[in-house]
A and B are shown apart, each in its own frame.
Chain A
């Protein structure tokens, strides 16, 4: 065993991974809190439609209801994968 092996043998920093995953899921769950019950289903159905044309992951779709004065606005954004010229669904 080399003299520096103890450095490599250190366990991986999994706490950072945990924190990053939590940051994302907690903010997602907070933004959907108190919003209509149909949102998760709407999100899944929209995803199915979008996937007919482009392949996106579930977390590429961000959907939320925001209050804008008198109105409620359903806000939807889809992060598309990097554009490949000529590729069609």
Chain B
């Protein structure tokens, strides 16, 4: 059984690609056979975050248009034998994706015995984002504690429950999880940022995981190593926890409380 998971958000720049890379890597670390697909046609980035940008020969659009086989186009991860990346095209536009074509590629991955297919959605609600979610069995909605991101994710939740194959076949909306990223407990503590509870209350969904805002995410992307592989990073560890929960394990939230400050610091600034 293959499970197709879309990582989506509506709003841009909230951490979808960062999350897709860590999710795919985390699942592979659990021994699953995983493919991660970049749906951001024209703005390929997943290859950089996965650190395989110099090994892209053929891409997703080439497979869809039968200019290359799936086998030729899947890039095997350097670190995990059971993890493959399918890059987006850098030269075409999002109209190059077709519903039939995407469906065919996903079916072929299923026939090849993949356990998970992670679909890294582009921002927005146009064709690329629509096709990334259309075939999904589950959704990870990445949201930042910020007004426009929360509003957009509600919009995406609406689309997941109506404009997907899951919904059209009468099974109801795609089951969705919220992943709250770029969370800053200090700013939440001082009333400057929406809290976990605020986001859950507005969207009416529990949060699956909370990824703190952390410099290690930037240094991981600088190096092309998904942050989940950085054992010293809070953000990486938070991804480990979130994936365990996605697979059904119960784990307490970490890194969601502000470090306690002494009176001196409170009086004279952080």
Contact = CB atoms under 8 A, between A and B. Distances in A.
A19 B266 contact: no
B154 A30 contact: yes
Interface in A15-37: 15-16, 18-19, 21-23, 25-26, 29-30, 33-34
Given A6-B267, A30-B154, A22 B191 contact: no
A26 B194 contact: no
A39 to B, nearest CB: 15
A30 B194 contact: no
A36 to B, nearest CB: 15
B191 A25 contact: no
B158 A15 contact: no
B154 A34 contact: no
Nearest to A33: B158
A89 interface: no
B147 A21 contact: yes
A14 B192 contact: yes
A26 to B, nearest CB: 5
A15 B151 contact: no
A11 B191 CA distance: 8
A16 B188 CA distance: 10
| Interface majority SS (helix, strand, loop, mixed), chain B | helix
Given A15-B195, A29-B154, A30-B158, A22 B147 contact: yes
A88 interface: no
A8 interface: no
A16 B202 CA distance: 12
Interface in B126-181: 146-147, 150-151, 154-155, 158, 162
B188 A23 contact: no
A12 B191 contact: yes
A75 B85 CA distance: 50
B191 A19 contact: no
A26 B198 contact: no
A12 B190 CA distance: 8
Interface of B: 146-147, 150-151, 154-155, 158, 162, 188, 190-195, 198, 201-203, 266-268
Interface of A: 6, 10-16, 18-19, 21-23, 25-26, 29-30, 33-34
25 contacts: A6-B267, A6-B268, A10-B190, A12-B191, A13-B191, A14-B191, A14-B192, A15-B192, A15-B194, A15-B198, A16-B191, A18-B147, A18-B198, A19-B201, A19-B202, A22-B147, A22-B151, A22-B202, A23-B202, A25-B151, A26-B150, A26-B202, A29-B151, A29-B154, A34-B162
